[in-house]
């Protein structure tokens, strides 16, 4: 199943946004002075966003090859 | 099965994704305020716990819907794996969820509309009687639309889902960009951490943001080549919903609102998350959040309530449609009286099922309205009970089907399995299903421990269903606790043929012939 270029572009942008947002959340959570246990939900959220972004970007790259 | 009329398989991968998203994606609009109201500073932890369980549930539904692409969903899987009686219990619990879905989402729809300045009179707290009549009118209207056969099309679902994914992502992006303060999130968690009872209550309510996975099965029946398409779309759906639920709860706790937070009823200052969790804001929490994002909030104050209300109305409609479809399926398998199969002469829709379940939804609305400010929470309690009960049985059914039906080809298997032999056949024992079962069973226990109404009303609903089932089966001289004899192997061959999975059908027929050389598959 092939996606249209516009849809592929939208997904690529989406993936890039998730990577940036996820990374920013992880960095900001790490830099906040607090016990690690309170940072865990935020870190998991950031990591999950980052992973989803990477997954989407890899799918797009694979489809373009 | 073979002589029944088949649904046309015309749903595309995006259609399959958006069908699920239109159902499950609306849940966060309902769950966010409820969970924050109960779990306070640990709302994100409650969503995380429920979310991890949901991933296991989602994977289980993905495997089962791809292997058995029929519309019955949880009820069908449990009946096939564990027999008629437990299949009935699972289906009856799902029916409770669908009827609650009708009321809860219609209530939420009116709640979101009431956030518009011109429609403030619809607010449940300040104008409960008007609110009640509007919600009742919505339920009656949806019943009428479903009787005459008007249903949102897959294309419309796709359009709304695309806007929803974009809108929810935009709220999160701008929210995290302009208003999120990690130190405020930590502060909210430290100062607003609930006691254990409240945390358990919050976790059990958080599961309602992940209810609606039955739609994966509904879509599977109308998707061509579901064994390939369902896993792809379901996993994308599971990840999107999970990330949105985690993101909204973390943002709500760490958000620095644009406008000053009003004092509470006693005149005390309150944090933004406390304001979101009040009974006045519980049924419109996402709209309140969005309108507090700088600049974007000016637009969001008008756009998000209308959009949220539309999404919730579609979800409410899927409750009407889903309940009639599940009742129809249960009736086909002689779990419910055949009256539920009766279709309208002119409109050809299951009129009895639609009327019965909409009347039940209206009765639930009356009970909820009698709870005053806690009506919304009452509906959430029952919703959580139905979901936890049916999902618990689905995990057991998945394990049972892996052991008793190893020949059915499974293009998608939940990861982490132990290879072993059972009754001479090689099987893969699913570890994730065991973890998911423990998680969802814990949530069921949390519901029974912490929901004062859910612990009585939920089991009462099941007891009422068992009485209906027993009377029907005894009158028809059918076995009560054992199952009607069915040839599942032939049915499965027919199901795969109908789904267009001809390679998988050949694979199954080959395995069945290798086991029993006399096996002949008569498919139509």
Total of domains in chain B: 2
Gyration radius of chain B over CA positions: 23
The verdict on a CB contact (< 8 Å) between B13 and A48 is no
The interaxial angle of helices B13-24 and B154-178, nearest 10 deg, is 60
Whether residues A41 and B190 touch (CB distance < 8 A) is answered with: no
Q: Could you tell me the CA-to-CA distances from B427 to B84, B419, B431, B517 in Å, in that order? A: 24, 6, 13, 22
Range of the domain at B493: 487-524
Q: How far is CA B68 from CA B71, B121, B401, B497, B498, in A?
A: 9, 47, 11, 11, 11
Q: What share of chain A is helix, strand, coil (3-state, %, to 5)?
A: 85, 0, 15
Query: How far away is chain A from the Cα of B45, in angstroms, using its nearest Cα?
Result: 6
Percent of chain A with pLDDT over 90: 38
Torsion, Cα B122 B125 B358 B159, to 10 degrees, reads: 50
Task: Give the Cα separation of B449 and B235 in Å (integer).
Answer: 32
Evaluate whether residue B232 is within a structural domain. yes
The answer to whether the Cβ–Cβ distance between B173 and A17 falls below 8 Å is yes
Which residue out of B39, B185, B232 would a mutagenesis test of the A interface target, given it has the greatest number of A Cβ atoms within 10 Å? B185
C-alpha–C-alpha distance, residues B448 and B223, integer Å: 37
Query: For position B324, what pLDDT does the model report?
Result: 84
Q: Is B250 on the interface with A (CB under 8 A)?
A: yes
Which residues from B are below 8 Å from A55, CB to CB? 239
Closest-approach residue (CA) in chain A for B191: A38
Closest residue, chain B, to A52 (C-alpha): B239
Same domain, B196 and B255: yes
- The minimal CB distance from A21 to the residues B48, B176, B254 is found for B176
Residues of A in contact with B182 (CB under 8 A): 28-29, 31-32, 42
∠ Cα B17 B89 B384 (to 5°): 60
Q: Is the pLDDT of residue A1 over 70?
A: no
Is B139 inside a domain boundary? yes
Query: How far is C-alpha B298 from the geometric centre of its chain's CA atoms?
Result: 32
Q: Which residues of B touch A47 (CB under 8 A)?
A: none
pTM of the model: 0.89
**Chain B residue with the nearest C-alpha to that of A36:** B186
Please indicate, yes or no, whether residues B39 and B180 belong to a single structural domain of this protein: yes
Q: Is B232 exposed, middle or buried (0-12, 13-18, 19+ CB in 10 A)?
A: middle
Asked whether residue B360 falls in the same domain as residue B491, the answer is: no
Interface A:B, Cβ pairs < 8 A: 55
Q: In sequence order, what E strands does B353-501 have?
A: 417-422, 425-430
C-alpha–C-alpha distance, residues B50 and B215, integer Å:
19
Interface probe, candidates A2, A15, A17, A38, chain B, greatest B C-beta count within 10 A: A38
ipTM over 0.90: no
What distance in Å separates residue B183's CA from the closest CA in chain A?
A: 6
Q: Is residue B380 part of a domain?
A: no
Say how many Å lie between the first and final Cα of chain A, rounded: 14
Q: Decide if A29 and B13 are in contact by the 8 Å CB cutoff.
A: no
Distance CA B183, CA B161 (A): 33
Q: List all residues 6 or more positions away from B395 whose beta carbon is below 8 Å from its beta carbon.
A: B56, B57, B60, B433, B434, B436, B437, B440
Q: Are B99 and B319 in contact (CB under 8 A)?
A: yes
Q: What is the pLDDT of residue B433?
A: 95
Assigned token pair, B499: 């789904």
**Domain assignment of residue B396, yes or no:** no
- Tell me whether B243 touches chain A (CB under 8 Å): yes
Of A17, A41, A52, the CB nearest to B45: A41
Task: Give the tens place of pLDDT for each residue, B306-350.
Answer: 989 988 888 888 888 888 888 988 998 999 998 888 888 888 888
Residue of B nearest to A33 (CA): B183
CB-nearest to B186 from A24, A38, A44 is A38
pLDDT tens digits for range B121-152: 888 878 889 999 999 999 999 999 888 876 55
Q: Per-residue pLDDT for B248 more than 90?
A: yes
Confidence of residue B2 (pLDDT cuts 50, 70, 90): very low
Count of positions (residues) in chain A: 65
**What is the tens place of the pLDDT at every residue in B444-472?**
999 999 988 888 989 999 999 999 999 99
Residues of chain A contacting residue B240, judged by C-beta atoms under 8 Å apart = 52
Low-confidence winner among B95-104, B351-360, B492-501 (lowest mean pLDDT): B492-501
Asked if B52 reaches chain A (Cβ–Cβ under 8 Å), the answer is: no
- B94-110 average pLDDT score: 92
The DSSP code sequence of B279-291 is TTTGGGHHHHHHT
To probe the interface with B, which of A42, A43, A52, A54 has the most B CB atoms within 10 Å? Answer: A42
Q: Are residues B439 and B516 in the same domain?
A: no
The most distant pair of C-alpha atoms in chain A lies apart, rounded to whole Å, by: 47
Mean pLDDT of chain B: 88
Q: Which residue in chain A has the smallest CA separation from B235?
A: A52
Residue-level pLDDT at B37: 93
Q: Is B434 exposed, middle or buried (0-12, 13-18, 19+ CB in 10 A)?
A: middle
Q: Are residues B277 and B128 in the same domain?
A: yes
User: CB distance B189–A45 less than 8 Å?
Assistant: no
Q: Which residue has the tokens 């799918």?
A: A59
Residue written as tokens 């789904």?
A: B499
What would the mean pLDDT of B481-501 be, rounded to a whole number?
89
Q: Which of A25, A33, A55 sits opposite B176 (nearest CB)?
A: A25
Residue B169 has pLDDT above 60, yes or no: yes
| Contact at CB, B182 and A28, closer than 8 angstroms | yes
B478: in domain: no
Structure tokens at B84: 């008629």
DSSP reduced 3-state for B419: strand
B413's CB contacts (< 8 A; 6+ apart) are B63, B428, B430
**Is B80 inside any structural domain?**
no
Does B452 map to a domain?
no
Task: Find the CB nearest A32 among B183, B239, B249.
Answer: B183
**3 state SS of B422:** strand
């Amino acid at each position: 199943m092939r996606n249209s270029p516009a849809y592929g572009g939208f997904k690529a942008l989406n993936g890039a946004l998730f990577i940036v947002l996820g990374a920013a959340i992880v960095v900001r959570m790490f830099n906040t002075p607090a016990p690690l246990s309170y940072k865990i939900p935020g870190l998991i959220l950031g990591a999950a966003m980052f992973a989803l972004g990477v997954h989407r970007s890899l799918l797009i790259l694979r489809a373009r090859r | 099965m073979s002589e029944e009329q088949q649904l046309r398989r015309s749903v595309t991968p995006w259609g399959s994704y958006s069908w699920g998203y239109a159902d499950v994606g609306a849940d966060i609009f309902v769950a966010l305020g409820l969970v924050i109201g109960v779990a306070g500073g640990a709302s994100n932890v409650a969503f995380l716990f429920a979310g991890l369980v949901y991933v296991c549930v989602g994977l289980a539904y993905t495997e089962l819907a791809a292997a058995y692409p029929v519309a019955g969903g949880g009820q069908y899987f449990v009946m096939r794996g564990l027999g008629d009686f437990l299949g009935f219990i699972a289906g009856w619990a799902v029916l409770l969820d669908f009827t609650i879905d009708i009321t809860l989402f219609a209530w939420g729809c009116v709640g979101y509309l009431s956030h518009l300045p011109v429609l403030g009179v619809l607010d449940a707290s300040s104008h409960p009687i008007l609110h009640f009549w509007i919600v009742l009118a919505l339920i009656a209207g949806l019943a009428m639309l479903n009787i005459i056969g008007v249903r949102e099309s897959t294309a419309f679902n796709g359009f709304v889902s695309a806007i929803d994914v974009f809108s929810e992502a935009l709220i999160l992006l701008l929210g995290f960009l302009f208003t999120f303060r990690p130190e405020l999130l930590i502060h909210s968690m430290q100062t607003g951490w609930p006691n254990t009872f409240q945390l358990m209550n919050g976790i059990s309510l958080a599961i309602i943001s992940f209810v609606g996975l039955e739609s994966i099965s509904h879509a599977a029946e109308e998707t061509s080549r579901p064994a390939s398409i369902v896993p792809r779309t379901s996993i994308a759906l599971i990840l999107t919903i999970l990330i949105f639920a985690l993101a909204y709860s973390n943002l709500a706790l760490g958000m620095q609102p644009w406008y000053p937070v009003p004092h509470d009823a006693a005149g005390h200052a309150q944090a933004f998350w406390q304001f979101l969790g009040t009974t006045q804001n519980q049924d419109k929490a996402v709209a309140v959040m969005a309108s507090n994002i700088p600049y974007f909030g000016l637009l969001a104050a008008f756009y998000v309530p209308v959009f949220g209300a539309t999404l919730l109305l579609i979800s409410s409609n899927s409750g009407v449609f889903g309940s009639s479809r599940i009742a129809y399926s249960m009736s086909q398998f002689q779990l419910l009286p055949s009256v539920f199969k009766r279709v309208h002469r002119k409109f050809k829709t299951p009129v009895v099922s639609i009327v019965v379940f909409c009347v039940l939804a209206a009765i639930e609305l009356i009970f909820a309205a009698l709870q005053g400010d806690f009506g919304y929470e009452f509906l959430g309690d029952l919703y959580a009970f139905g979901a936890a009960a049916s999902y618990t049985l689905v995990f057991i059914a998945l394990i049972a089907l892996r052991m008793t039906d190893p020949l059915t080809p499974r293009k998608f298997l939940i990861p982490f399995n132990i290879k072993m032999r059972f009754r001479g056949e090689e099987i893969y024992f699913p570890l994730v299903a065991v973890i998911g079962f423990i998680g969802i069973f814990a949530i069921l226990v949390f519901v029974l421990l912490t929901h004062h109404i859910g612990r009585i009303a939920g089991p009462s609903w099941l007891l009422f269903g068992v009485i209906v089932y027993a009377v029907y089966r005894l009158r028809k001289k059918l076995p009560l606790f054992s199952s009607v004899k069915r040839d599942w192997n032939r049915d499965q061959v027919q199901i795969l043929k109908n789904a267009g999975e001809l390679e998988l059908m050949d694979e199954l027929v080959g395995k069945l012939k290798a086991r029993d050389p006399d096996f002949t598959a008569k498919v139509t």
